Chains A and B, each alone.
Chain A
């Protein structure tokens, strides 16, 4: 503590502040600006990378949307959910039912995605109401039941939901105005994979903007208060049940949106796509990235998408046959998880903060 006073960095802050007066003062404005910058970056990345990278980024976007929602629930509010894969299934199936197998549904895609989020939020409210009374392992157990039961429902109502084979979902056509805009800016066509990536990342940025504001505001403070010390929070007049249910609803809405994006990217909602493995993957993404940080959710999702194919290709490059290389990916993934738990319990973001904290103080 004593040492900090003579560090030049702390003295430099007010000077810098004066230099950038154009920066928006409100939290919303700052987040909005960051999202705008990110939007430009996303456009450039998507336009400069190959269609395959685009499709990987589209995959990453739906993991990240769900992981961001889970971050709010687990990182901020302290509730563990093993059922977010099932909530994604709710979103994906809703999208599939409304969009139809030929894409000839009466509603537009954004509206369908909103409905998917709303339906999932409703499911989240029901689950959240039950979950608000549970803690730790009991909560994990209850949400685990959700993860097991929802794919079962899809098989039980197989005439509506397609059973084991699932519901085929039409991939949306690239809208004319969108194609024209991209063509005007970059002088090339927009293939379907790229449009889906735009759709996913557009949704993701919107979700991040909303969540960041929610987290920075009063609601976020209340969530953190409940997580850190519920007795103190209750004494301060916070109604624990309501707060927990709200966190679950917000988180579920994100999962629903993620499911909607997954549906159109994968073009299928099938029970085997929403097993407990998906829920666990989301949880590991959140933990590996750094619990409670939206950036961490992004990093964790990137790891989920980019690590397995990279490992497989390394394995093939090293002379393994296809089967051995494929078996290498889950192994390396497990090793990475163990290493993160042992060496960096605060996740990737925690490590980054520690590294940058040596150079400057963060708030």
Chain B
């Protein structure tokens, strides 16, 4: 301690001098100049966008594949010359599905990597940690990978846009289907206890209020769902609608197998990917259940074509993209999801025009986003007043490892908006695989 004293004194002197010198530099505040400021993240040859995903940790299976699909599609576009001559640089970082880390990596993306926009950031609790930050910094926050209604608040969060159908409209469509096709069923709800379950319950109760005999909630992280499944069985529910993430699809299936409880299961889209649920089932049951055979006959919804449908022209395009620019592994539904989001972003960037600005791309999505065409089943609901994503889904049955459509694409909106059949013909992919959206003046 004592021997350190001279160093301390020298340091003091240096710092004091530095402080004085820097103080001399201070003067009156300059007026803000209105010059043509170069846009953050945009150069003549490139535009940089970022995203946060759980690449490690409990939420990594499945979800960590999404950005690889996005990257493959961006590489495909770059190989064809990019958007308005700019290559898309895509930086995605790991938040381990922990909101504290999301806040850190998004700081890194915005401040260090200097991204122009965030696209496809995943997760409700994780992304809500950065919602205020991105909006206060004026960073476009496009196409959040979550169905929460939080992303559709253009008054409070003008930079943020949802993408996938929100959980409420999905639940409304499932609810109406059940009311029409299983009018005698005693319905049980199996809900994740957060926005997913809450928004879905509102939507489902709109059509099923009199049929619902039990609503059981599970807390994510707690892997014991025996009490919930037993309660559903005790209530006599012979049809259970699950609004849950994939691992809880596997857990609920194993538990009902154990209790010899065989209701008709309906899972929301996010919980029903057969490939992922199959692998989770195998893992949770330690090999006793080896594939997704348990999901045979289960109902779910779809709003994107899946890998089980290789004849779909969009799937042929995405397979081509993955073969040319993908990394290791097969094309999966999660990668298709990432590619579809990337396809939307390319359209937004095209609409923003040859000199994209942060305000410009938000304005472009508000003005022309509702007309974007792509692999999604129903149009987006974007406008100056709405930032809500895809407006509909179709009900399907999982059978023999593939899916069979039970309804046409059904379109609706939040609240008491009616459910109608989609009127548009499904879009066909462009020959070169790259959308062609005109700039919004």
- Residues of A that sit less than 8 Å from B by CB: 9, 13, 16-17, 20, 23, 30, 33-34, 37, 40-41, 43-44, 47, 50-52, 55-56, 59, 152, 155, 158, 163-166, 168, 170-171, 183-187, 192-193, 262, 265-268, 270-273, 275, 277-278, 309, 312, 321-323, 326-327, 329-330, 360, 362-363
Contacts and interface: CB of A to CB of B under 8 A. Distances in A.
Given A183-B26, A309-B104, A326-B93, 20 more contacts: A33-B8, A40-B15, A52-B107, A52-B108, A56-B107, A158-B193, A165-B124, A171-B132, A184-B26, A185-B23, A186-B25, A187-B26, A265-B103, A267-B103, A270-B100, A271-B221, A273-B99, A322-B94, A329-B94, A363-B2
A168 to B, nearest CB: 7
Contacts of A270: 99-100, 125, 129
CB-CB nearest 6 A-B residue pairs: A326-B94, A52-B111, A52-B112, A326-B55, A273-B100, A268-B129
B9 interface: yes
Contacts of B89: none
Nearest to B196: A164
Interface string B1-27: 111011011011001101100110111
B1 A363 contact: yes
B136 A163 contact: no
A183 B220 CA distance: 47
Given A40-B15, A262-B100, A322 B193 contact: no
Contacts of B355: none
B405 to A, nearest CB: 33
A249 B220 CA distance: 32
B8 A37 contact: yes
Interface of B: 1-3, 5-6, 8-9, 11-12, 15-16, 18-19, 22-23, 25-27, 29, 55-56, 64, 67-68, 71, 91-94, 97-100, 103-104, 107-108, 111-112, 124-125, 128-133, 136, 193-195, 219-221, 327
Contacts of A165: 124-125, 128, 194-195
A56 B108 CA distance: 9
B193 A266 contact: no
Given A55-B107, A327-B55, A273 B98 contact: yes
B115 to A, nearest CB: 12
Contact of A266 (B3, B22, B64, B103): B103
Nearest to A277: B98
Interface centre among A47, A165, A185 (most CB of B within 10 A): A165
B26 A272 contact: no
Contacts of B68: 321-323
Contacts of A41: 11, 15
Contacts of B9: 20
B3 A13 contact: yes
Nearest to B130: A267
A46 to B, nearest CB: 13
